[in-house]
Structure 1
Amino acid sequence: MELDILLQHYFGTTDLTTLDDAGFEHGVEKLGTAFGVEKEPGRRFALWSLLHALGDAPDPAVAFKDPAARRAAEDYAHAADRAAYRAENS
């Protein structure tokens, strides 16, 4: 899954800064719905990762029943949060 394709599909643009609040929320809602119905594990993880980057992902313990997928999501979230913290404090 390519980020630009996901952004264009769910938000109608690849530049989220061009969206007003309603447009952004609508895109996040569409993305969340897609995550909720997706069955393929790789696509599901990609959608969850984008939701996480946008600040709207469900907790990994709720989002993933499979222990390996849950652990991968927890690891990803930890690494992303650590990277954001470092960027803010540089």
Structure 2
Amino acid sequence: MEFDDQMRRYFGTEDIAAATPAALDAGIEHMLVDFGLERDPARKFGMWTLLYMLGSAPDLDVAFKDTETRDAARNFMDMMDRAGDA
């Protein structure tokens, strides 16, 4: 699923700044449900990254069963932290 598709599906807009607080809350809740049901590892990881950027990602040990994916998620978190420092 493309990023723009996720934004439209969960928040009703491609511009996150245009989403109302209620739309954000509802979209995050919907995304968390879908995340729990998702079986495709790549889609699940993509959903987790967006949830992380929104401050709502599940903990790594809950989100991902395998070590490789947890390590990739930690790398993403570190990359985002470094980008925030720039």
Q: Same fold, TM exceeding 0.5? A: yes
Deviation, structure 1 residue 85: 2.2
Q: Measure, in 2, the Cα distance between the counterparts of 1:26 and 1:54.
A: 13
Is 1:15 the counterpart of 2:15? The answer is yes
Identity %: 42
Aligned residue in 1 for 2:24: 24
Residues 29-48 of structure 1 aligned to structure 2 (within 5 Å): 29-48=29-48
Which deviations, in whole Å up to 9, do the C-alpha atoms of 1:3-33 show, x marking residues without a partner?
1111001111111222221111001111111
Counterpart residue identity of residue 29, structure 1: E
Aligned length: 86
Which deviations, in whole Å up to 9, do the C-alpha atoms of 1:41-88 show, x marking residues without a partner?
0110000011011111112122111111111111111111221122xx
Judge which range, 44-53 or 60-69, deviates more.
Answer: 60-69
Q: Measure, in 1, the Cα distance between the counterparts of 2:19 and 2:44.
A: 25
User: Normalising by the residue count of structure 1, what TM-score does the alignment of the two structures yield?
Assistant: 0.88
Q: Measure, in 1, the Cα distance between the counterparts of 2:28 and 2:45.
A: 15
Is 1:82 the counterpart of 2:86? The answer is no
RMSD: 1.0
Which structure 2 segments of 5+ residues have no match? none
Counterpart residue identity of residue 60, structure 1: L
User: Normalising by the residue count of structure 2, what TM-score does the alignment of the two structures yield?
Assistant: 0.92
Is 1:55 the counterpart of 2:55? The answer is yes
